[in-house]
Structure 1
Amino acid sequence: MRIDGAVALITGASTGIGAAIAVDLARRGAHVLLVARNAEALEERVADIRGRGGRADSFTADVGDQEQVAALGAAVREQVGVPDVVVNNAGAGRWLYLDETEPSELETMTAVPYTAALLVTREFLPDMLARRSGWIVTINSPVSRMTWPGATGYAGARWALRGLTAALRQDLRGTGVGVSEVVPGKVLSDYFANNPGAEDRIPKIDALMPAQTPEQVAAAVALAVARERREVLLPWPLKVADLAGRFTPRLLEKVVALTGHRR
């Protein structure tokens, strides 16, 4: 799909991976629409992109909330039009055992990313189908390929996101609307600073996978859209783990368990 001239909506775009995706797509000629809850941070990102000569607008919304997503859709259609690309990047959640996690936090982990991707995609999908063109990208976690101990709610939501992506891919065959899933390994962002203790729960097998920058993930998203890839996993050792999960699932499960966090 052609990025230059496209309208691309990115959720969770105020910081980290989402902000990097917005910058990268704008550099490639897209008109980017940044969505997040923090209006001030969004305006800073928009000013930065415009300062680089790009086209950008911001929309403040909690994408895990149905009413706010409906309002977002109405505002986007009125001010810009129907996006050509939707990047479901918004994500939240700490790495905790199920018995450590309060029910309210489990609901939040499910709302973002899973419910958010479901609602945002549903909001713009009818228009994409009517136009018979568009591209949907979901940003997922390696936990959807190699589930590790001590992150139950987070892992469940990410597996749900993987299922949503697969279901959409089946639903949209022959419609002109495509779906990509981009799965990066550990990313050098603010996540671990904002979630103390999470890094301690990464399985030691992760040492085989070089950490990625948000900019590298953004480049992978652009690749997925431009070349219409169904999946992009990075770095390459994660691809090996994914294949192991498909063909030798018990072996991968055992390795992750042995190198993962223990109570």
Structure 2
Amino acid sequence: MKLVGRTVLITGASGGIGEAVARAAHARGATVLLVARGEAKLKALSAELGLRAHAYPCDVSDPSAIESLAATVRDAGHSVDVLVNNAGAGRWVSIEDASPEELLSMAQVPYVAALLMTRAFVGEMIDRRSGRIVTVNSGVSRAVWPGAVGYASARWALRGLDLALKSDLRGTGVGVTEVVLGTVSSDYFTNNPGSEEALPKIARMVPTITPTDAARAICRGIERGRGTVIPTGQLKWVAWSSQHMPRMNHFMLWLTGARRSARRRTPVSPAPTS
């Protein structure tokens, strides 16, 4: 699917990978629908890109807001050809150090947001027998490291969504692409202090790429109809070893990963014996 003349909706488009995808798709001749919570940034990007760029502020963690967004997009006369589920959030933190609210928010975005965004737009694609659903995922969906339970499990759920869609949409004319990225030089580590230190040392073998590099890989994957996009050879090896040598893969990530910090815990007294 060539992007020229197509309409591409990107979530998380106010910065980082999402902004880069919007710029790359727009440069390829697509109309881009920019979705994120940051209204000011979206409008600035839309104004900069000019024609064929439209800002739609929306909190994709809110199911009712997604329904309103879909109605607004349809009322504006846009038919979405490509949905890029890019919005994501979450710290790398041990499960007991995260509040229930934080764990729920990590599941909400990216997983539930991608699930409901897909539901909101895929019906029209099926009717037209044309379209593509793209999910932007993390390398942790292949190789899990310690100290990131909420984040990792949400990303595995996103992987499950991708596989389920590929099965469910087979034969409909709607394609499905999962993009698996390693470290990207975005603002993630700035916005989530302490996370960079939690990255396993072995992960340094996977080169850091820029948001522009990621966007180029995503757009190329869409245009070539790829089912899975993994931009670097090193990350492809990580994904391969996770599937074919899972025990070694998991052990090396554990061995080189962050250790739990010492905590004071109230010792549990043994039960009295009679």
TM-score using structure 2 length: 0.94
- Partners of 2:209 and 2:44 lie apart in 1 by 24
Q: Give the partner amino acid of 2:132.
A: W
In the alignment, the residues of structure 2 paired with residue 85 and residue 25 of structure 1 have an alpha-carbon distance, to the nearest angstrom, of 10
Count of residue correspondences = 260
Query: Quick check: 1:94 aligned with 2:91?
Result: yes
1:70 to 67, 70, 76: 67
Q: Structure 1 residue 206: deviation in Å?
A: 1.3
Quick check: 1:130 aligned with 2:130?
A: no
Is structure 2 residue 238 aligned with structure 1 residue 241? Answer: yes
Could you say which structure has the larger radius of gyration? 2
Distance in structure 2 (CA, Å) of the matches to 1:97 and 1:87: 29
**1:46 corresponds to which letter in structure 2?**
S
Whole-angstrom distance in 2 between the partners of 1:171 and 1:146: 26
Candidates 78, 82, 88, aligned match of 2:79: 82
Q: Give the letter for the 1:82 counterpart.
A: S
Q: Structure 1 stretches (4+) deviating beyond 6 angstroms?
A: none
Q: CA RMSD in A?
A: 0.7
**1:38-187 mapped onto 2 (5 Å cutoff):** 38-50=38-50, 54-187=51-184
TM-score by length of 1: 0.98
Match of 1:33 in 2: 33
| Residue pair 1:134, 1:178 contacting (<8 A) in 2 also | yes
Give the counterpart letter for 2:156 in structure 1. Answer: W
Q: Is the 8 A contact 1:192 1:198 kept in 2?
A: yes
* Secondary structure of the structure 2 residue equivalent to 1:257: helix
Q: Report the 3-state secondary structure (helix = DSSP H, G, I; strand = E; otherwise coil) of the residue aligned with 1:182.
A: strand
> What is the letter of the counterpart of residue 25 of structure 2?
L
Name the amino acid aligned to 2:19. A
Q: Which whole-Å CA distance do the structure 2 matches of 1:131 and 1:259 have between them?
A: 49
Q: Which runs of no fewer than 5 residues in structure 2 stay unpaired?
A: 261-274
Show CA shifts across 1:187-211 (max 9, x none).
0011101111000010111111110
Percent of residue pairs identical: 50
2:205 match: 208
Equivalent residue in structure 1 for 2:194, among 183, 197, 200: 197
Partner of 1:11: 11
Tell me the alpha carbon deviations over residues 121-170 of structure 1, each in whole angstroms, 9 at most, x when there is no partner. Answer: 00011111111100010000010010000000000100000000000000
Deviation at 1:80, TM superposition (A): 3.2
Cα displacement string for residues 110-131 of structure 1 (whole angstroms, at most 9, x for unaligned residues)? 1000000000000011111111
Give 1:81 shift: 2.0
- Post-superposition offset of 1:234: 2.2
> In the aligned structure 2, how far is the partner of 1:14 from the partner of 1:97?
29
Aligned partner letter, 1:21: V
